[in-house]
Amino acid sequence: MTSVKHEVAEQLTTHLRNDTTDQAAEELRVPISDFVSEERAVLERDLLKRLPVIIGRSSEIAKPGNFITREVMGIPVIVSRQSNGHAAGYVNICRHRGGRVEDAECGSKRFFTCKYHGWSYSGDGGGLRGVPYDKFYTNVDRDRNSLHLFKVEEKHGFLFADFSSDSERNITDWLGPEVNEQLASFDLEDAAIYLDKSFTLDINWKVVLDGAIDVLHPKFLHPEGVGKLIETNTSVWKDYGRHGQVFSPRTKMGDLIRAGEEIEAAWKLISCNLFVYPNTMVIAAPDHVELWTVWPDPHNANRSTTQIRFLADAEHLASERGQRRMAKSWEILEDAAVNDDWPMELTIQQNSEAWPDGTYLYGRNEQPCQHLHRQLAKDLGIELDGITG
């Protein structure tokens, strides 16, 4: 990790001195219809259901019997801590007539019961436990009527859900050495959750992600906020296969370098955004980590839900100073995202619906956004290169 920090700091220093930035080999044009087409949205939802996605924190199910419920792309799920210490995932649908077997967002239970007809299931393995009036059924095979299972793996304090049938895939290999190294450096295993907010927006999920990883807009859209804190159009992009990471210098670093001054501990003046494909960003701040997860709506291409969490050291959060810093950090983020980014993105979505022909242009200096669209196109077997506006 130290070598990466040193390398990135040197690259950003060079960019700031020469007014340059990392660049892709070529520009990219993405069809506007990709952001409004229901046909395309169906393909993307199906893809995300075949890939590992972060749905929670291990700390949310700290003890055996603890559980959380979620909706993941329209699928109701339960994640429960087993007696053997492992996490298990169940589809929250009764095998009798389709009711949910658990309504609470979280808790601790030995079994889950559907309120419709009383069928119950073990929290340890999801097996069918009880069938009221069993004698009136010809045969209820307990083994064949357990809750549907899906794979849940834990890594770096996160719960990864995988609805695919790929038994060979494991989360360590999926993330790869670079992402594992970066996530390990954030030391999130025991991090506490300071805030957890969700926003449902009338915006396609890719437009939201574009805005969050974009490096060209800070001084234009946030001239009195983030634009004063982060340099615009100066970045280093690290490609980690499906994933990637963008590093941007803070304006203080730029001011010092342009003044010809030497900088000690330059890393402290660099922000980084780790994109964990397909829909998560881990953004490092000086005393906490922002975790963004952007979900496509299960029914509408023009809608999405963005979940934002702040993760930090529990002792830091327990202090008055820590609370003040967290509150200030949220104030800055709220001003940028809620008051600036999302209103702009809403107009982009509305304009895309009104005029879905043609393409949007991603320049060579927009590598993070290019990466998202190129990787999605690759996984969907769609050709993007060569499209003209």
| Helix, strand or coil, per DSSP, at residue 162 | strand
Amino acid at 320: E
| Rounded mean pLDDT, 83-111 | 97
pLDDT at 255: 94
Give the residue from 169, 123, 155 showing the smallest Cα distance to 57: 155
| Rounded mean pLDDT, 8-27 | 96
Judge contact between 299 and 74, C-beta under 8 A: yes
User: At which residue do the structure tokens 């993307």 appear?
Assistant: 44
pLDDT in tens, 211-260: 999 999 999 999 999 999 999 999 999 999 999 999 999 999 999 999 99
Tokens of 203: 């915006």
- DSSP run (H or E) holding 88: strand 87-91
| Rounded mean pLDDT, 205-215 | 97
- For residue 294, list its beta bridge partners: 306
Amino acid at 41: A
- Categorize the per-residue pLDDT at 385 as very low, low, confident or very high, splitting at 50, 70 and 90: low
- Beta strand 243-249 pairing with 270-276: antiparallel
Task: Please state, rounded to an integer, the average pLDDT across all residues of the chain.
Answer: 95
Judge contact between 237 and 246, C-beta under 8 A: yes
Give the residue from 182, 216, 176, 227 showing the smallest Cα distance to 8: 182
* Residue 235 dihedral angles phi and psi, to the nearest 5°: -160, 160
pLDDT in tens, 265-290: 788 899 999 999 999 999 998 899 99
- For residue 31, list its beta bridge partners: 359
Helices marked H in the chain: 2-18, 38-48, 171-186, 205-213, 218-221, 251-258, 314-318, 320-336, 342-354, 367-380
DSSP 224: T
DSSP 146: S
Amino acid at 242: R
Query: How much is the CA Rg of the chain, to the nearest whole Å?
Result: 23
pLDDT in tens, 42-93: 999 999 999 999 999 999 999 999 999 999 999 999 999 999 999 999 999 9
| Helix, strand or coil, per DSSP, at residue 145 | helix
Q: What sign for the dihedral angle of Cα 353, 358, 363, 367?
A: positive
Is residue 389 predicted with pLDDT exceeding 70? no
pLDDT in tens, 328-382: 999 999 999 999 999 999 999 999 999 999 999 999 999 999 999 999 999 999 9
Give the residue from 218, 252, 227, 260 showing the smallest Cα distance to 17: 260
| Rounded mean pLDDT, 140-151 | 94
Residue 51 or 389, more confident: 51
Give the residue from 369, 88, 337 showing the smallest Cα distance to 198: 337
Give the residue from 79, 118, 111, 121 showing the smallest Cα distance to 97: 118
Is residue 387 predicted with pLDDT exceeding 80? no
pLDDT in tens, 155-180: 999 999 999 978 899 999 999 999 99
| Rounded mean pLDDT, 182-190 | 95
